[in-house]
Amino acid sequence: MSADWKDIAQKIKKIHKNKDFVPLHEPSFTETEVEYVTDCIRSGWVSSVGKYVDQFERDLADYTGVKRAVAVVNGTAALHISLKIAGVQAGDEVIMPALTFIATANAVSYLNAVPHFADVSETTLGLDPIKLETYLTEIGTMKNGVLVNKQTDRIIRAVVPMHTFGHPVDLDPLVELCARFNLALVEDAAESLGSFYKGKHTGGFGIAGALSFNGNKIITTGGGGVILTNDDQFADYAKHITTTAKIPHPWEYRHDEVGYNYRMPNINAALGCAQLEKMDLFLNSKRKTTVKYAELLEQLDGVKLFQEPSFARSNYWLQTMVLDEKFHNRNYVLEQLNEKGAMARPIWTPINRLEPYKDCQAMDLTITNNFNERIVNIPSTPLKGDPHE
């Protein structure tokens, strides 16, 4: 049947037990967060050193199945440092999806390197490894063990897949591709805490992975990020340079290189520790929401709910509608839902269309451009009551 978007907005609000307005995604807190943050304040250890930072790093490493986690101020900083330690240098190119949040490209630019945009898969919304392999074979050549772009003469140093809205990229062929071309694999796992690829948590497949804990993520530290890695040397160096490269000493201020003041404050980590304890509740709620939305949308012409690929288990961070352009105008749908109090947003503008990156090289972006006109995100906050049950 045809869609009455004002009626659908009312049904979305009913699912979330809210009569007036349903945000796209907001944090969910209980007394545990208050308890941990209060304890942190009373201890006086609210900055970059304290028991909650250490605990949060340990807990995240355990949860994601990696050896080490290094807590930093945000997900962009996590990507920046991961790419730096992975060997990205000024003038290098880094492959990433054009369909991602701008932070992925900004982290590359901080190193004076150059983003190089690739297309995404209809199955995952993330990098298409098969299409990418064909493309790199065409434009690249191996010289002295590195992949060189024949069109620009720059080294292509790394690949950054992004797990869009929590849906894992098809990682096995991407890992093989990176090994074949000697490319560093750094996962932008900002949105995919709680997502698994063939039973293994995202963020642990390459040399490093970056998580984000912004206020709209599945768990939040207010602002924050984490570098995941299975390499102890990588983690030790990440911790060193994100702590202004200060050499440990009882009283002297000695720094052995240019570092970054990127460490996560203890007070933010306290919030994260409490949030992480609720991960299973949040994930269960997300899956309940998926079922409810699938039931709501399955009878509508030209609308489908994007669901996890067969090889993965997604955290369903943001619920995603894919519209058939024959039936629906994306902007009209956005207007109707928002007008009736069900907050909705489009997917990001492809980065190659944005002013800072319009001159960067891009492969054929057919799927990216198609999705840009068809995707609408709808309210995805954990259902009311679920975290407390």
- Residue 199 CB neighbour total at 10 angstroms: 9
Q: What is the mean pLDDT of residues 127-135?
A: 98
Class of domain 31-276: alpha beta
Residue 166 backbone class (left: φ over 0; alpha: ψ -120 to 50; beta: rest): left
Residues with Cβ within 8 Å of 385's Cβ and at least 6 positions away in sequence, in order, are 17
Decide: 52 and 40 in contact? Cβ < 8 Å: yes
Per-residue confidence (pLDDT) for residue 389, from 0 to 100: 39
Percent of the chain with pLDDT over 70: 98
- Residue intervals of the chain classified under CATH 3.90.1150.10 are 5-26+279-388
Q: What is the pLDDT of residues 15-72, one digit of tens each?
A: 999 889 999 999 999 999 999 999 999 999 888 888 999 999 999 999 999 999 999 9
What is the distance between the alpha carbons of residues 188 and 191, in angstroms, rounded to a whole number?
8
Taking the C-alpha atoms of residue 198 and residue 189, their distance in angstroms, rounded to an integer, is 16
DSSP state of 244: T
Q: Is 167 helix (H, G, I), strand (E, B) or coil?
A: coil
Q: How far apart are the first and last CA of the chain?
A: 36
Query: Where does the pLDDT of residue 1 fall: very low under 50, low under 70, confident under 90, or very high at 90 and above?
Result: low
Tell me: the pLDDT tens digits for 271-320? Answer: 999 999 999 999 999 999 999 999 999 989 999 999 999 999 999 999 99
Neighbouring C-alpha atoms within 13 Å toward the C-beta of 148? 9
What is the rounded CA–CA span in Å between residue 308 and residue 321?
A: 13
- 224 pLDDT above the threshold of 70: yes
113-126 pLDDT, tens digit each: 999 999 999 999 99
Copy the structure tokens of residue 85: 């330690």
pLDDT value for 388: 40
Q: Which pLDDT score, from 0 to 100, does residue 212 have?
A: 98
Nearest to 136 by CA among 172, 175, 183, 100: 183
pTM: 0.95
pLDDT in tens, 54-69: 999 999 999 999 999 9
Q: Would you say residue 346 has pLDDT above 80?
A: yes
Check residue 47 and give its pLDDT: 87
At the fourth CATH level, the homologous superfamily of domain 5-26+279-388 is Aspartate Aminotransferase, domain 1 (3.90.1150.10)
Q: Calculate ∠ Cα 168-173-174, nearest 5°.
A: 65
CATH 3.40.640.10 intervals, the chain: 31-276
What is the average per-residue pLDDT within 92-110?
98
Average pLDDT over residues 341-352: 97
**pLDDT digit string (tens) for 246-279?**
999 999 999 999 999 999 999 999 999 999 999 9
**Cα–Cα dist 113/89, whole Å:** 6
Please tell me the least confidently modeled range out of 331-335, 352-356, 383-387: 383-387
pLDDT at 18: 84
Checking if the pLDDT of 387 tops 50, the result is no
Local structure of 255: helix, strand or coil: strand
Average pLDDT, the chain: 96
Q: Does 6 have pLDDT greater than 60?
A: yes
pLDDT at 66: 98
